[in-house]
A and B are shown apart, each in its own frame.
Chain A
Amino acid sequence: MSGFAIGILGIVFLFVSILLGVNVMVALGAVGILGLTAVVGLNAATAMLSTVFFETVHGFHFSVIPLFLLMGLFAMRAGLGEDLFEASIKWLGRLRGGLAISTTMGAAAFGAASGSSVGTATVFTKLALPQMLDRGYDKRLASASIAIAGTLAVMIPPSAVMVIYGILTDSSIGALLIAGVIPGLVFAVVLCAATYIWVWRRPELAPRFDESYSLKEKFYSLRLAGPLIIVIICIIAGLYLGVFTPTEAGAAGAAVTLILAIIRQRGIKGVRLLETLLETIKTTAMIFGIIICALIFSRFLALSGTAIALGDFMTSLHVNKWVVVGIVALIYLVFGMMMDAPALLAITLPITHPVMIQLGFDPIWFGVFVVLLVELSAITPPVGINCFVVQAASNGRIELEDVFMGLIPYVLAGLFMLVLLCLLPQMALFLPSTMR
């Protein structure tokens, strides 16, 4: 059997095992190592297995993952979601559809810090949904404006998902984090515009919010949210200017949010430090289990020549490379219905990344594109993790269909953003190219 045939068989086995409920980590690792045995023999495969764990977990730059996770959990303990929501209402509430816009922006800022789209959706459903519904907002608009915000969260640094892409594809983590900044901000504007236009065409969906705040009140609302926004800006600037590495940025962010949490909880006890640390190591272990096994699988695809053969096949088709991009996008949207970001990236990148590079795409650009795609798939009907989270946290005040119906304008805005990213790749590449 040729290497290519073994490779294709391996891909089939991988997807069958995952669908049969095998842990994503085990499926990647077991299929990968059996495939390697078939291609290079038992001894070489075992030798590879002996080094891959240590080489992956013994790295300074990869310690950024637990530190980013820690920063997010501390931000949650510090109640920064409430502060950000309060601040964004005071600053943006009077716009057309202002509460929905405030929610999206507040959740995006919170999500940027926490890096978790599911966590952000839960927190903001509890915070913003009752406020919007009580003021007569339409259920669809209210719930969807929360569910969409997670997509922004993973674009704007610090973002653990970007780091996972960087580790899996051996790309520069710092460059990837910086590459997300402009697309993240542009996407925020696109989403707010989508809300604005939607409410402008159907004003009955969102009654005007009449309370006005003095400038003093506006600035007072920034007392705790402000430090967080400053931290995020410092992290971005520090990475861009090369003042510190992503790991140091993560540690500094975690330290500042820990201090904010101690201030908010009036002491270290309320922060539940041990519980937070245990939660961090479990998520870290989950992510690295998948990453290590994905590296085994990806080495199998490389050594069997499958990755290159697939790329050759795609180029030999002589279809426009944007057709390939369309196919890739479709694959992510379909598989994104079944699993969340780390698992999805781990099983697909060994296949899609080499193909895209062979077609001449920039790995940093593809990183931003894929991360946006993965998050969009987390809200796309009929199965979107974030939609379930919003519905589950709403105490029965909304139906799943409300979220899905409400998301249609936002999904369209997301697709528009993907097209924009294809037309203007410089949006992602400009900042990294001028980095020091």
Chain B
Amino acid sequence: MPPFVSHPSRDVKVSGFHRLCRAYGRLLHACGLIAAISTFAMLVLVVANVIGRYLFNAPITGAFEITESLLVVVIMLGLALTQYHDGHIRVTILTRRMPLSWARLAKIWALILGAAFFAWCAYASWKFAYESYSFNEQEWGTITFPLYPFKFVVFLGVVLLAIQFVLDAINAISKPPSADQPAAVENI
């Protein structure tokens, strides 16, 4: 079992809702694994292509197109997992100094806004992907493969993220006010 941070704290009595959250986290983790493997595949593919091109004068057919499509998987399947670990940047400079009840309201509002926004994105990307599927859109590069599965990956990514926001919002509503933890700072 890989290192696994369960989002709702373990010492509260484990309710059905928390079990649901944890199961959902495992699903997101599985998606993360797919994204992680795709990242490594991308690394290998790009390097192999460079070596093939310069050393053997034989570039890999379709390396460019495959890398593009792999990036879709890498990013979209990681989005919700990052929210599960609270890894998306937010500013806590004000909310940390607010009275707890205000900070709680701000947090609930922020999470509902996130859920609503990504639900809208999900609706839009579903239409986009379905359209692509209905006329069987293809990638026309040095190799040809259908493009619509990757558009459905975009849809999947935003749906998973929207659901994670809903779960986080329910969790925040059901819990008593508590001090906000500063967001994960991931500087680059």
Q: Say whether A and B bind each other.
A: yes
Q: Which residues of A contact B (CB under 8 A)?
A: 17-26, 29-30, 33, 46-47, 49-51, 53-54, 57-60, 62-63, 66-67, 69-70, 115-119, 154, 160-161, 164, 244, 247-248, 250-252, 254-255, 273-275, 277-278, 280-290, 338-343, 378, 383, 385
- In the complex the two chains form, is B39's CB within 8 Å of A281's CB? yes
Q: Cβ of A383: which chain B residues have Cβ within 8 Å of it? A: 93
Given contacts A57-B71, A63-B68, contact A29 B117 (CB under 8 A): yes
B72 touching A54, Cβ below 8 Å: yes
A288 to B78, CA, bound (A): 10
CB of B46 within 8 A of CB of A21, answer no
Residue of B nearest to A62 (CB): B71
Complex contact A281–B81 (CB within 8 A)? yes
Q: Which of B36, B87, B116, B117 has the most CB of A within 10 A?
A: B117
Chain A residues positioned under 8 Å from B188 (CB to CB):
69, 115-117, 154, 160-161, 164, 283, 287, 340-342
Beta-carbon contact of B89 and A280 below 8 Å: no
Check A252/B47 contact, CB under 8 A, given A277-B39, A281-B36, A286-B87.
yes
Which of A26, A119, A285 contacts B78, CB < 8 Å? A285
Q: For window 108-165 of chain B, which residues contact chain A by CB distance below 8 Å?
A: 109-110, 113-114, 116-118, 120-121, 123-125, 127-128, 150-151, 154, 157-158
Q: How many positions in chain B have a CB within 8 Å of any CB in the partner chain?
A: 67
Is B166 part of the binding interface, using a Cβ–Cβ cutoff of 8 Å?
A: no
User: Which residue on A lies nearest to B73, using beta carbons?
Assistant: A57
Interface status of B101 (Cβ within 8 A of chain A):
no
Contact residue among A20, A119, A160, A378 (Cβ-Cβ distance under 8 Å from B94): A20
Q: What are 18 A-B contacts with C-beta separation under 8 Å?
A: A18-B90, A19-B94, A24-B88, A25-B88, A46-B120, A46-B124, A47-B124, A59-B68, A63-B74, A116-B187, A274-B2, A277-B40, A278-B36, A285-B75, A286-B89, A290-B89, A343-B89, A385-B185
**Contact yes or no, A255 B43, CB < 8 A:** yes
The answer, yes or no, to whether B21 is at the interface (CB within 8 Å) is: no
A residues near B69, Cβ cutoff 8 Å: 58
Q: A residues within 8 A CB of B180?
A: 21
The answer to whether B71 touches A30 (Cβ under 8 A) is no
* B78 to A: closest C-beta gap in Å: 4
The 5 A-B pairs at the shortest CB distance, nearest first, are namely A285-B78, A251-B46, A118-B187, A277-B36, A50-B124
The reply to whether A18 and B43 form a contact with Cβ atoms under 8 Å apart is: no
| Cβ-defined contact, B90 with A24, below 8 A | yes
